[in-house]
Structure 1
Amino acid sequence: MLKVVHINTYDGNGGAGRACLRLNKALLAQSIDSKVVVHYKFGKNLSVGTFNKTAVQKAYTAATIVFERILAKRMLNTLKRTPFSFTWFGRSVIEHPDVKAADIIHLHWINHSFLNPAHLAQLAKLNKPIVWTFHDSNAFTGGCHVRYTCDHFMRQCGYCPLLKKAGADDASHKIWKQKADAYRQLSFNVIAPSKWMLNSVLQSSLMKDKPVLNIANTLETQVFIPAGKANAKKQMGLPEDKFIFLTGFMPSRKDLHKGTSYLLESLELLKERLGVKASQIELVVFGNRNAKDVPDFSFKTSFLGTINDDEKLAMCYAAADAFLIPSLEDNLPYTVMESLACGTPVVAFNTGGIPDMVEHLHNGYLAEYRSAKSFTDGMEWVINNEEKQALQQQARQTVMEKFAEPVIAQKHMQLYNQLVNKPEPGGAHV
């Protein structure tokens, strides 16, 4: 039986962690001996392993994660709220029994004092096929996780706009050189969950000689299911006669990555357009840590806070008439896939990997990038759509055809088998 070990920083904390656990579950269902081992374990799932053998080791790991973030603040431009990882700390994983026993080593998100370039290069000593799923851009940049319009990753980074002290040989260029040296020593196949990520990888200076394949993430299609709008609204305590927009956590107007300001502007425009009919619209927000540190919305708004129960989260999606995601750059955001799986159309900007999931005017609306007016057009389109039931069915069908567990598991298994049956890792740009 093929043995696969998935290596990630956290166990389900964040999109990458969830993707890792969901893929592991999908592979287990296909009789693959699949395991997950993480840098820092939050949960109590006994099937998830950790590289920390003792409480002291776990405390040290937590300390390095926190210390890295503190040090980073001293070097980063505080006006640029963009995630950036340095390479000061790291740990070796090559002696872990699950890593040594695996036929395939599958890397996921490995930042936060985990696998820095030096420790990553150590994996070459194991002489095993390595697969690496890129959940953001960090692996092929000089430190940033979100690039926006910056094209320095196409060269050798440097003059990084995120650093206080930017220059030709700044921290981003030094990190780029560390990664270049590690990647020369290590063979691996890249998995890009979205076409946008695949194209980014092919453009990057660090990855030009690495084989890359587009395979999407998956999710639990038996958990995220349609429940009937009226029934779901009733269960969630929402008015059945109102049109419900659902959206995720938005920290503040200053937040760049999630595009909060565009959503706020779009909602203001929508209220102006609807006039007296605006009273028929309500907004539901999940993921907010509290109801105080949130923006002022133009419509009546309910705040659900953080939802850790997937069945409850699925009911939220099922109860909504449309899901709003104003993100400006995202690889393959799970909120979109989860919403569609629950039969809820999505309004989003035409950016990142979102077009891989949202088909314009078929299961949602792709607004012109960074246009609040276009985003408002999308909301109006969903509100006025006369074929709402068909729209909901098409949303669910998209997920079942493209992202269901057996579909994604089989694509990974095909790649794994190709690599195991070859003397050296290989593949083609697809």
Structure 2
Amino acid sequence: MLKVVHLNTYDGNGGAGRACLRLNRALLSQNINSKVIVHYKFGNNAAIGTFNRNALQKAWAAGLIVLERLLAKAYLKPGKRTPFSFAWFGRSVIHHPDVKAADVIHLHWVNHSFMNPAHLAELTKLGKPVVWTFHDSNAFTGGCHVRYTCRHFEQQCGNCPLLKNESPNDESNQIWQQKDQAYRQLPFTVIAPSTWMQQSVQAASLMRGKPLLQIPNTLETDVFAPGSQTDARQALGLPADKFIFLTGFMPSRKDLHKGGAYLLESLHLLKAQLGSRAGEAELVIFGNRDTENMPEFPFKTHFLGVINSDEKLAQCYNAADAFLIPSLEDNLPYTVMESLSCGTPVVAFTTGGISDMVQHEHNGYLAEYRSAGSFAAGMAWVWQHPSRAHVRQQARQTVMDKFSETVVAAQHIQRYQQLLAAPAAIQEAHV
């Protein structure tokens, strides 16, 4: 039986962690011996392995994660909120029994003091095929996870606009050089979950010569499935007679790329357009721990807080008439896929991998990038659509056709088998 080991920093914390666990579940359903091992384990799932054998090792890992983030402040410009990872710390993984026993090593998000370039290069000693799914841009930049308009990664990082002491030989250039040296030693196949990520990898100088496939992430289509809107609203305590917009709005203190300011502006524009009918719409927000420092929203707003259950999250999508995501840069955001899988249309900016999921005026609306007016037009499109039920059907069908567990697992298995059938030829291609 084919054995695959997935390496990720966390067990389901964040989009990459969820993608890793969902792919693992999909592969298990296809009788693949698949296992996840993480750098730091939050949960109690016995099926998920960890490199920490005792409480002391776990505390050490947590300490390095915190230390890296504290030290980073000395190098990053004040006010810059773009996520950035340095390569100071890391750990060897090649002696773990599950890594040694695997036929294929599948990397996911390996930052936060998990696997730095030296430890990535060390994987070469195992002589096993390596597959790496890129959940953000960090693997091919000098440290940033979100690039915006910066194109230094296409040549060589340096003069980084995020660093205090930007120069041709700054920390971003040093990290870029470390990655370049490691990647020259390690053969691996890149998996890009979206067209946008595929194009980014093709443009990245660090990725030249690396095999590249586009395979999307997957999700539990049996959990995120269409259900009764009436029942969902009743369970969540939401009004039955309102048009409900749902969002996972986050104040933009840390993640500027989430685009919260554009969402707020577009809601004000929509209210002005609706006039006397504005009272027929309400807003539902999930994901926020702090509601005291929220801006004043123009529609009556319900705060659901952090949702820790996929079943309850699916209820949220089913209760809504439209899901709003104003992200300015995203690979293949799970909230979009989850919403569509529940049959709820999505309004989003045309950016990142969102356009791989949202088809304009088919299962949602792709607004002009950074245009609050266009985003408001998208909300109005869903509001005014003559056949919302048809749009909901198309939303669900998109996920079943392109992102279901069966479809995505089969694509991964095919690549694993190809690598195992001709490992020598693949490695020679990297020499």
- Note whether the superposition's TM-score is higher than 0.5: yes
- The answer to whether the 8 A contact 1:192-1:214 is kept is yes
Q: Aligned residue for 2:268?
A: 268
Which 10-residue stretch deviates more, 10-19 or 72-81?
72-81
Measure, in 2, the Cα distance between the counterparts of 1:424 and 1:387: 55
After superposition, residues 74-89 of structure 1 pair within 5 angstroms as 74-89=74-89
Measure, in 2, the Cα distance between the counterparts of 1:283 and 1:72: 37
After superposition, residues 26-175 of structure 1 pair within 5 angstroms as 26-175=26-175
- The answer to whether the 8 A contact 1:84-1:143 is kept is yes
Matched to 1:230, the amino acid is T
> What is the CA-CA distance between 1:231 and the residue it aligns to?
2.4
After superposition, residues 188-207 of structure 1 pair within 5 angstroms as 188-207=188-207
Measure, in 2, the Cα distance between the counterparts of 1:413 and 1:355: 25
Measure, in 2, the Cα distance between the counterparts of 1:50 and 1:110: 13
Matched to 1:133, the amino acid is T
What are the Cα deviations for residues 106-153 of structure 1, in whole angstroms up to 9, with x where unaligned?
000000001000011000000000000000000000000000110000
- The answer to whether the 8 A contact 1:159-1:170 is kept is yes
Q: Aligned residue for 2:292?
A: 292
Measure, in 2, the Cα distance between the counterparts of 1:111 and 1:417: 28
Q: Aligned residue for 2:215?
A: 215
Q: Aligned residue for 2:321?
A: 321
> What is the CA-CA distance between 1:230 and the residue it aligns to?
2.2
What are the Cα deviations for residues 66-105 of structure 1, in whole angstroms up to 9, with x where unaligned?
0000000111112221000000100000000000000000
> What is the CA-CA distance between 1:293 and the residue it aligns to?
2.5
> What is the CA-CA distance between 1:232 and the residue it aligns to?
1.7
- The answer to whether the 8 A contact 1:189-1:426 is kept is no
Measure, in 2, the Cα distance between the counterparts of 1:103 and 1:255: 37
Measure, in 2, the Cα distance between the counterparts of 1:425 and 1:114: 30
Percent of pairs with identical residues = 69
Matched to 1:340, the amino acid is L
Measure, in 1, the Cα distance between the counterparts of 2:253 and 2:39: 33
- The answer to whether the 8 A contact 2:341-2:400 is kept is yes
- The answer to whether the 8 A contact 2:81-2:253 is kept is no
> What is the CA-CA distance between 1:298 and the residue it aligns to?
1.1
Secondary structure of the 1:37 match is strand
Measure, in 2, the Cα distance between the counterparts of 1:51 and 1:10: 11
Measure, in 2, the Cα distance between the counterparts of 1:288 and 1:295: 12
Secondary structure of the 1:315 match is helix
- The answer to whether the 8 A contact 2:252-2:258 is kept is no
> What is the CA-CA distance between 1:208 and the residue it aligns to?
1.2
> What is the CA-CA distance between 1:255 and the residue it aligns to?
4.3
- Counterpart check, 1:341 vs 2:324: no
Gaps of 5+ in 2: none
> What is the CA-CA distance between 1:188 and the residue it aligns to?
0.2
Q: Aligned residue for 2:408?
A: 408
Which 10-residue stretch deviates more, 211-220 or 74-83?
74-83
Secondary structure of the 2:37 match is strand
Q: Aligned residue for 2:331?
A: 331
Measure, in 2, the Cα distance between the counterparts of 1:423 and 1:113: 30
Which 10-residue stretch deviates more, 308-317 or 288-297?
288-297
Matched to 1:277, the amino acid is R
TM-score by length of 1: 0.98
> What is the CA-CA distance between 1:276 and the residue it aligns to?
1.1
- Counterpart check, 1:399 vs 2:362: no
Secondary structure of the 1:75 match is coil
- The answer to whether the 8 A contact 1:129-1:424 is kept is no
Matched to 1:102, the amino acid is A
- The answer to whether the 8 A contact 2:194-2:214 is kept is yes
Q: Aligned residue for 1:250?
A: 250
Measure, in 2, the Cα distance between the counterparts of 1:95 and 1:28: 24
Secondary structure of the 2:49 match is strand
Matched to 2:378, the amino acid is G
- The answer to whether the 8 A contact 1:331-1:354 is kept is yes
> What is the CA-CA distance between 1:425 and the residue it aligns to?
6.3
Q: How many residues align?
A: 428
Measure, in 2, the Cα distance between the counterparts of 1:322 and 1:87: 41
Which 10-residue stretch deviates more, 152-161 or 285-294?
285-294
Measure, in 2, the Cα distance between the counterparts of 1:56 and 1:230: 49
- The answer to whether the 8 A contact 2:133-2:193 is kept is yes
Which 10-residue stretch deviates more, 369-378 or 252-261?
252-261
Q: Aligned residue for 1:278?
A: 278
Gaps of 5+ in 1: none
Measure, in 1, the Cα distance between the counterparts of 2:26 and 2:425: 23
Secondary structure of the 1:6 match is strand
Q: Aligned residue for 1:23?
A: 23
Q: Aligned residue for 1:354?
A: 354
Measure, in 1, the Cα distance between the counterparts of 2:253 and 2:77: 18
- Counterpart check, 1:417 vs 2:424: no
CA RMSD of aligned residues (A): 1.2
Measure, in 2, the Cα distance between the counterparts of 1:254 and 1:99: 35
> What is the CA-CA distance between 1:235 and the residue it aligns to?
1.9
Measure, in 2, the Cα distance between the counterparts of 1:198 and 1:154: 13
What are the Cα deviations for residues 210-236 of structure 1, in whole angstroms up to 9, with x where unaligned?
010000000000000111222222222
Measure, in 1, the Cα distance between the counterparts of 2:357 and 2:250: 22
- The answer to whether the 8 A contact 1:283-1:302 is kept is yes
> What is the CA-CA distance between 1:297 and the residue it aligns to?
1.1
> What is the CA-CA distance between 1:342 and the residue it aligns to?
0.5
Matched to 2:388, the amino acid is K
Measure, in 2, the Cα distance between the counterparts of 1:418 and 1:255: 39
Which 10-residue stretch deviates more, 221-230 or 59-68?
221-230
- The answer to whether the 8 A contact 1:130-1:425 is kept is no
Which 10-residue stretch deviates more, 287-296 or 148-157?
287-296
Measure, in 1, the Cα distance between the counterparts of 2:81 and 2:120: 27
Secondary structure of the 1:5 match is strand
